Amino acid sequence: MSERDVFEYALLRVVPRVERGECFNAGVLVYCRAKSFVGVRTHLDETKLLALDPEADVAGVRAALRAVEGVCAGGKAAGQAAGDDAGRRFRWLIAPRSTVVQPGPVHTGLTADPQAETERLLQLLVR
């Protein structure tokens, strides 16, 4: 059995009308301190989005998800977080916010491959 490390993850939820509180999962954030890894995988189900809010700004939600992807990637795409390590970027992304794209609670697990874990969680919890 290969060595496994602790990882943390949070789902990204889309809340089209914050005042109603209805949401669906559109991505997963994964952080593994031992591997200095922070990653995200997203999948926006436009049918669900428009079912909850027929006037939803689909392009705006996609842009918000791309912004999260940029922060995870680091470098210039991360904007002000460009110089932050993986842990700081993850903590910033999971901070509670009252916007259309919101992080869910943080959960933990063990993994030998955080990148593969990100894909597995996307398939299991989002798609």
pTM: 0.90
- Chain segment 11-36, per-residue pLDDT in tens: 999 999 988 889 999 999 999 999 99
Using CA atoms, how far apart are residues 91 and 69, in angstroms rounded to an integer?
Answer: 14
Q: Is the pLDDT of residue 117 over 90?
A: yes
Q: How far is CA 115 from the centre of its chain?
A: 13
**Helix extents (H) in the chain:** 46-52, 58-73, 86-94, 114-125
Q: Is the pLDDT of residue 96 over 80?
A: yes
Q: Is the pLDDT of residue 114 over 90?
A: yes
Which H/E stretch holds residue 113? none
**Mean of all residue pLDDT scores within the chain:** 92
| Percent of the chain residues topping a pLDDT of 70 | 99
